[in-house]
Amino acid sequence: MSRFWKIALTVMVVIVVAAIGFRLLHKSAGTASSPTGQGKDGEDTAPVPVTVVPVVKQNVPVYLTALGTVQALNTVTVNPQVSGLLLSINFTEGQPVTKGQVLAQIDPRTFQASYDQAVSKRSQDRALLATARSNYQRSQDPKYSQYVAKMDLVTQQNTVTQYAAAVAADDAAIRDAKLQLDYTRIRSPIDGLAGIRAVDAGNVVGTGTAIVTLTQLHPINVMFSLPEQNLDMVRSAAQGGLPLQVTALDRVDRHPIASGGVLKVIDNQIDTTTGTFRLKSQFDNDKNALWPGQFVNVQLLVSTVAGGLVIPAQAVQRGPDGDYVYQVQGDNTVKMQPVVVAGEVGDSHVMIGSGLKVGDSVVTEGQFRLKPGSKVKPLKPGEVPAAPTAAELEKARKEGKKGGRRHH
C-alpha cells in the first residue's frame, strides 16, 4: 500500500470516529439539559397552567371614534357702540354673566346733553304746531273765513303740516339720542362666562375697541370629523328617529369625561383635501367638564349588534396568517384557532366575527408556553396553580439527577 493511501485511510478513520463521538456527546447534552417533566423529544409531559375564559354572547355597541374639538355654543366679543371715556368695568373676569347685565359704563354726559336738546327741540316745535293749528282752525271758522284770503288759508294749512313733520322728526331724534345714551351702558348680549378684559377703566374707547369675550358653555358643542366611507352608515343611523348618542373621552386615559351628548348636524359636504366630513354634537355640560378649545376623543354610537361573541382582547394573537387564539379542547389540549376580529368592545374586549362559538374556551394568559397539541391545566381568571407537593418535588429532583448524567 502506497504512502498516499495510508494517509487517506487514516484521515477517513479520524473523521468517522469524530462524527460518532460528536453524536454521542450531543445526545448526552440534550438529555442533561432537558427540563424536568419533559420527555426525550422535548415535549411537555406535565400540563401547562393557563388562564381560560369562555366565549360569551352579549349585545355589543358599535362606535365610530374620532378626535374632537370643544366649541362654545356662542362666542361674543363685546364692543362699545359709542365712543367715549370708559368710567368703570362692572364684571369679574372668569365669572358667569347674564343676558342684559351691565358690563361697563361709558361717560354719558355728552349723550345726555344731546338727549336733552332733542327733547327741548320737540317741545319748541310742538308749541309752534299748536299755534299753527289754532290759526288754521280760526281761519276756517265761518265768522272769520270771509275775511281770510284763500291763499292765506292754504299757507296756514301747510304751516300746520310743516310743524307736524318737525315734531315727528323731533320724536325720531329723541329716540336716537335715547338709544345713544343707553349704549353708554354696555350690556351682555348672552348668558355666558366672561373672559379676561381687554381694556381698563379710564381709557377712551371706540366702536372698534374690544371690552371682553363671552362664551356660552351651557350647552356646548363638540366638533369632529369622520372618514367619508362612514357617511352612509352615519346618515342611515341618524334617520332612525332617535338622535345618535355621543360620548367625550379624555385624550390620555380614554375615560368618559362627558356623556349624554347627541349628534346635531352632519355637514352638507365632504372636504376634498382630507376625504372627511364634519359633525357637530351637543352636550348639556352641567358640570363644566368640557371647555372651549379642548381636544377630546369622541365616540359616536351608530348601532348595537345583538348577540355578539365577545372574548378578552389579550386572548387574540397575531400570526403570519392573521389573528388566532389558543382554543382549549375537550381533552385539555390546545389548538391554534384562526379568528376574525369584528371590532373592539370597550378597552379590554373584542367581538369575534367568525372562528368561535358560544361556550368555546380560549387561553388569555400563558400563551407563550404553548404550541398546538400542548396539554394544559385550565385556571379561572385570578386563580393560581396549586403549590407542588413534597412527593412531586422529590420526583422532580430524582428526574433532574437522572437527566443530568453524561454518557462517556
Q: What is the mean pLDDT of the chain?
A: 85
Find all residues with CB under 8 Å of 193, minimum gap 6, and list them.
94, 95, 96, 97, 214, 215, 216, 217
Q: Which amino acid is at 6?
A: K
pLDDT digits (tens, 9 = 90+) for 132-148: 888 877 777 676 666 66
Q: Which residues contact 278 (CB under 8 A, 6 or more apart)?
A: 223, 224, 225, 267, 271
CATH code for the structural domain at 63-73+213-307: 2.40.30.170
User: Which fold does the domain 48-55+316-403 belong to in CATH?
Assistant: 2.40.420
What is the structure's pLDDT at 343? 80
pLDDT band at 265 (very low <50, low <70, confident <90, very high): very high
Pairing of strands 212-227, 84-89: unpaired
d(CA 46, CA 49): 9
| Top-ranked range on mean pLDDT: pick from 8-12, 73-77, 139-143, 369-373 | 73-77
Q: 394 or 331: whose pLDDT is higher?
A: 331
Residue 234 half-sphere exposure, CB side, CA atoms within 13 Å?
Answer: 27
Question: What pLDDT does 202 receive?
Answer: 93
Tell me the mean pLDDT in the region 270-274. Answer: 93
Is residue 39 pLDDT above 80, yes or no? no
What pLDDT score was predicted for residue 32? 43
Q: Tell me what pLDDT residue 123 has.
A: 94
Buried b (16+ CB within 10 A) or exposed e, 278-317: bbbbbbebeeebbebebebbbbbebeebeebbbbbebbbb
Q: Are 133 and 160 in contact (CB under 8 A)?
A: yes
Question: Which residue, chain included where needed, has cell 355666558?
Answer: 192
Lowest average pLDDT, out of 144-153, 356-365, 367-376, goes to: 144-153
Q: Give span(s): CATH 2.40.420.20, the chain.
A: 48-55+316-403
> For 196-216, what is each residue's pLDDT tens digit?
999 999 999 999 999 999 999
Class of the CATH-defined domain 77-205: mainly alpha
Q: Where in the chain is the domain with CATH 1.10.287.470?
A: 77-205
pLDDT greater than 60 at residue 25: no
**HEC-encoded secondary structure of 1-30:** CCHHHHHHHHHHHHHHHHHHHHHHHHHHHH
The average pLDDT across 94-104 equals: 95
> 9-13, 300-304, 379-383 — which is least confidently predicted?
9-13
